């Protein structure tokens, strides 16, 4: 399984185009934010101290969520391609066990997701500091790394489930472009959740990766929030949290951090379970 996962990683990272396209949505978000979204949001909150630092942290947190979705999708592209080009034949005629094969695909996708997320967080931090913000503290950094692992696990499970239905590279490429674009809306990255209509807000809140986004924001924005709202009344800070999707609110109850963690964990289990069911029904 490890050998097979290693093969997938090599195949993925040597394909420059695959790597680029798996980060496409990341580039889109950065582009949008750098060009105008960043200025729009900072000008909305003029006068708030350290608003740039705050908003930069917000966007990097969102970016992490999207990256782990699209990067795992890119890595799973190898599985679709192997199937489309009948390369699986070469694996099936060898004693390599089917579960090692599937395990190898999943392991490599999770690895790609984590690696790409770590790269994003490093570059993001550099960007924040250049813009006048502070480095993430050691304990926050550890929390972010833990969250990267968990959210990649969840996202890869969902992506894996989608991937099991594709056997043509073209169809999959189209699907991943669409998913890569929509993901920015569904997790409230292009637009903060508070600026969306009520029904769409519900969709966002029920979409598991949004919980990962909220957790990333809670950790990464803790310091800039404290700085920004030090002198402001508590309601202002709470309203901002809800508006920007730092705190997901269902009705009038706030979703606690452990609740979001639970949602992620449950989603991972559910979708890996479903994928196994689909794959074992297909195998005959």
Question: Can residue 17 be called a binding residue for other proteins (CB under 8 A)?
Answer: no
Q: Which stretch binds other proteins (CB under 8 A): 6-14, 69-77, 182-190, 240-248?
A: 6-14
Residues 53 and 57: their CA atoms lie apart, in Å, by 6
Q: Are 278 and 164 in contact (CB under 8 A)?
A: yes
Least distance in angstroms from the C-beta of 104 to other proteins: 11
Question: Can residue 169 be called a binding residue for other proteins (CB under 8 A)?
Answer: no
Q: Are 267 and 157 in contact (CB under 8 A)?
A: yes
Of the candidate residues 19, 28, 32, 87, the single one contacting other proteins (CB under 8 A): 87
Of the candidate residues 90, 131, 137, 146, the single one contacting other proteins (CB under 8 A): 90
SS3 breakdown of the chain: % helix, strand, coil, rounded to 5? 80, 0, 20
Of the candidate residues 17, 35, 47, 94, the single one contacting other proteins (CB under 8 A): 94
Dihedral sign for Cα 137, 139, 141, 147, please: negative
Question: Can residue 197 be called a binding residue for other proteins (CB under 8 A)?
Answer: no
Question: Can residue 281 be called a binding residue for other proteins (CB under 8 A)?
Answer: no
DSSP at 213: H
Question: Can residue 10 be called a binding residue for other proteins (CB under 8 A)?
Answer: yes
Element at 176 (helix H, strand E): helix 169-186
Of the candidate residues 93, 130, 138, 234, the single one contacting other proteins (CB under 8 A): 93
Residues 248 and 208: their CA atoms lie apart, in Å, by 12
Question: Can residue 96 be called a binding residue for other proteins (CB under 8 A)?
Answer: yes
Residues contributing to the site for other proteins (CB under 8 A): 3-4, 6-7, 10-11, 14-15, 85-87, 89-97, 284
């Amino acid at each position: 399984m490890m050998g097979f996962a290693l093969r997938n990683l090599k195949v993925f990272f040597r394909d420059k185009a695959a790597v680029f396209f798996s980060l496409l949505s990341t580039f889109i978000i950065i582009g949008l934010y750098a060009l105008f979204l960043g200025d729009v949001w900072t000008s909305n909150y003029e006068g708030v101290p350290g608003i740039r630092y705050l908003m930069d942290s917000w966007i990097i947190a969102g970016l992490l969520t999207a990256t782990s979705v699209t990067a795992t999708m890119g890595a799973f592209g190898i599985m679709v391609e192997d199937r489309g080009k009948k390369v699986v034949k070469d694996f099936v005629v060898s004693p390599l066990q089917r579960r090692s094969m599937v395990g190898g695909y999943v392991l490599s996708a999770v690895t790609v997701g984590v690696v790409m997320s770590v790269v994003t967080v490093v570059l993001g931090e550099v960007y924040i500091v250049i813009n006048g913000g502070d480095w993430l503290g050691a304990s926050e950094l550890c929390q972010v790394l833990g969250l990267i692992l968990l959210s990649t696990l969840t996202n890869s499970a969902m992506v894996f489930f989608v991937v099991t239905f594709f056997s043509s590279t073209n169809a999959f490429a189209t699907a991943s472009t669409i998913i890569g674009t929509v993901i920015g809306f569904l997790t409230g990255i292009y637009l903060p959740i508070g600026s969306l209509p009520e029904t769409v807000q519900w969709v966002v809140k029920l979409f598991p990766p949004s919980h990962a986004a909220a957790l990333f924001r809670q950790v990464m924005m803790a310091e800039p929030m404290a700085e920004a709202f030090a002198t402001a009344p508590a309601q202002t800070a709470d309203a901002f949290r809800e508006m920007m999707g730092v705190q997901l609110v269902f009705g009038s109850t706030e979703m606690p951090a452990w609740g979001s963690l639970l949602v992620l964990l449950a989603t991972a289990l559910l979708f890996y379970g479903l994928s196994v069911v689909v794959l074992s029904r297909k195998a005959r």
